[in-house]
Amino acid sequence: FIHRSVDADDKTGDVLVNDVDDYVTRIQKAGGKLMLPAVDVPGVLRYAVVSDPQGAVFIIFKGAQKPMPVEPVLDTLGNVGWHELHAVDGNTAFDFYEKLFGWKKTRAIDMGEMGTYQLFTQDGGVDNGGLMTKMPDAPGPFWLFYFNVAAIDAAVERVNKAGGKVAMGPHQVPTGQWIANCTDPQGAWFSLLSKNK
């Protein structure tokens, strides 16, 4: 699964694995790239920075704590409630993740000129992510993370007051939830997700 965190310098999510070095080898054999070799943070975790075959960057890690902390419920406020891959080719990008991590496609949504939005589940349960072919003006493939907020309008107001910008939205999506795509004052992308306007 993608662990609920985002790197401070980039839109980089973490995928929990049982052996970082083994997965580095698997990722490279599957056409991905090693961006930063495995590193230990003593007493905390071992991690490596990698990319999928189309260039979307993510981190694989194994925590040193036993047992690992319990993952928050998907709709916990402040938690990442949705993961979204903007791929070079949305039709083929998911094969890599399915083969390596066992994630499964669920429904596909026709978005007209924007192509198909493919939903997926990481644990066989509820949908918790989607992927699509990136927009032509996007500089490269990337993972985008949607943070749960109590109400979208109030959260957008906080973004603006804190010096961020709203790039798109807020608007309602087919699930009935409200989203807004934003940037922080330094230009890093993130998104907001809420059940309430």
pLDDT band at 166 (very low <50, low <70, confident <90, very high): very high
How high is the pLDDT of residue 1?
42
Mean pLDDT for the stretch of residues 72-95? 92
Res. 12: pLDDT tops 60: yes
Provide the 10 A C-beta neighbour count for residue 151: 15
CA gap 17, 68 in Å, rounded = 12
Half-sphere exposure of 169 (CA within 13 A, CB side): 24
pLDDT value for 9: 39
26: left (phi over 0), alpha (psi -120 to 50) or beta: alpha
